[in-house]
Chain A
Amino acid sequence: MSNEPALTFAKAYAELQTITQEFEAGELDLEKSIPRFKRATELVNFLKKELVKMESQIEEINLDNQEGLS
């Protein structure tokens, strides 16, 4: 997944849903469904990696020291 820096959790999840819908619709022939399944596997691996992250970053905004605020 390193060659896809733009991939986010939201995009990956949405793409996985799209692939699932394509399979549900039964519109894919084998020539297409095999690469789509491979892509789904990549997405699942990416999502799993994201989901096992434990730490979140917590940052306090100093509202008294912000430019442009009245």
Chain B
Amino acid sequence: MLAQPVFQVSECIEALNQHLSLVGEIVVEGELGRLDVKNGRLLFGTLKDAVSSLDFFSMSHLVKNFRQFEPGMLVQAYGSPGLYKTSGKFRLLVNQLVPVGEGALQIAYDKLKAQLQREGLFAPERKRPLPPWPQTIGLITAVGSSAQADLLKIITARRGGLTIYTLPVNVQGREAIPSILKAFAYLNYHPSAIDLVIIARGGGSLEDLAAFNSEAVCRAVFGCPVPVMAAIGHEDNWSLCDYVADLRASTPSHAAELAVRDRLEVLREIITSHQWLHQRLIRDLKTKETTVNQATLAIRRRLHRLTATVNQTLGKIPVMAVSLQSLLHQYRQTLDHSLPQFYSRLKRDQALKQQDLIHLERLLTSLDYRVVLRRGYSITRLKTGRILKRADQVKPGAALQTQLSHGAINSIVN
């Protein structure tokens, strides 16, 4: 008989973990007993049913939606069984935790909705306007789904010349979230390749729409570099994606109508615009023509008035000439009458002036000393030229000069 192998404690736990790893991933459904978060990233929880309970462990980066859960919810835990190395206690290492049943899903929905709303993911002010004329449109839908068919049918009927990219995803089931995230990763990687994204899915239960109510997909929609329109589920049944998207359409068909305007409608609009512009131009031309005509008329009237004034003035010229001639005649008559009087007065004044002149000349002649000399008088001057008036003005031997009427005598005083 072979001896029983003896394990050290750690070896025993390791050996058992190796056996358990052969089980692979399992899904355990049960009511959530507790869910504790330590250090913000370590999750410790319990699943239970009427008979048993099971501990599980996970990390916040694996179960990103851990805030949606609360005790009492029915959940499915995806994970691998194993033992803690240190304590040897059994736990399920969970990589995905999914609410199950309408009640649990509704609670998770409500909690996540409140959280995203608090964070501002639904805020109207962050909604981007959709491009009015998208040339490239990305459709995130399930391949062959009625949502995709409706979108393609209506978009292509309303407009041509577009490029439509289909980004095929799973819209329900375990692969739904990763595949949708991959589609958004593509858009993040090619932000300028597409003008508008439509994410669409037909109606379904909360369980069917779980991916569109997941936090990861909501955040992907929020972070998408391209405007997103969502058309998930029924008209009155909004998914959380619908709240996050830039615009929500009630159905995929409605989304197509909102995304692309009908060609005939646009054609009518631009033709109407063109006709209006033409009419406006014609109206402006007519207005200008009227203005020019009015201006021409005004100029003609002005010219007419000016001509009349000139003619009137020209008509007055002969009368004015006659009047001027008469005036000139009067002046000439006055001049003819006044000139002889003026000349006679001038002559009379001249004769009087002549007589005065003769009289003055005579007077001047009578006063001339040479006249006195001619009567026999003489003038005796000293050598200095002074006139000798008295005998004591000279002494014997003084030289004198005596001026006569004709000539002079020089003498010496004795």
Contact = CB atoms under 8 A, between A and B. Distances in A.
Majority SS at the chain B contact face = helix
B322 to A, nearest CB: 57
Nearest to A63: B182
A54 to B, nearest CB: 4
Given A19-B277, A58-B156, A61-B186, 7 more contacts: A20-B276, A51-B266, A57-B164, A60-B168, A61-B167, A63-B182, A69-B186
Q: 7 tightest A-B contacts by CB?
A: A53-B161, A53-B160, A10-B133, A56-B162, A54-B160, A68-B189, A44-B274
B128 to A, nearest CB: 16
B147 to A, nearest CB: 15
Given A8-B135, A23-B277, A55 B270 contact: no
A40 B163 contact: no
Interface string B147-174: 0000010011001111111111100000
Contact of B285 (A30, A48, A63, A69): A30
A63 B182 CA distance: 7
B278 interface: yes
B165 A61 contact: yes
B88 to A, nearest CB: 36
A41 B166 contact: no
Interface in A36-70: 37, 40-41, 44, 47-48, 50-61, 63-64, 66-70
A10 B166 contact: no
B263 A51 contact: yes
B334 to A, nearest CB: 69
Interface in B295-352: none
Interface string A1-41: 00000001110010010011001000000100110010011
A59 B163 contact: yes
Contacts of A33: 281, 284
Contacts of A10: 131-133, 135
Interface in B132-149: 132-133, 135, 138, 143
Nearest to A13: B133
Given A33-B284, A44-B274, A9 B133 contact: yes
Nearest to B159: A56
Contacts of B179: 63
Interface of B: 131-133, 135, 138, 143, 152, 155-156, 159-169, 179, 182-183, 185-186, 189, 263, 266-267, 270-271, 273-274, 276-278, 280-281, 284-285, 288
A34 B267 contact: no
Interface of A: 8-10, 13, 16, 19-20, 23, 30, 33-34, 37, 40-41, 44, 47-48, 50-61, 63-64, 66-70
Contact of A58 (B166, B281, B285): B166
Nearest to A9: B133
Contacts of A16: 270, 273
Nearest to A10: B133
Contacts of A69: 182, 185-186, 189
Nearest to B181: A70
B286 to A, nearest CB: 11
A69 B185 CA distance: 6
A43 to B, nearest CB: 8
Contacts of A34: 281
B277 A59 contact: no
Contact of B161 (A20, A23, A44, A55): A55
B75 to A, nearest CB: 26
A57 B162 contact: yes
Contacts of B132: 10, 13
Contacts of B131: 10
B273 A56 contact: no
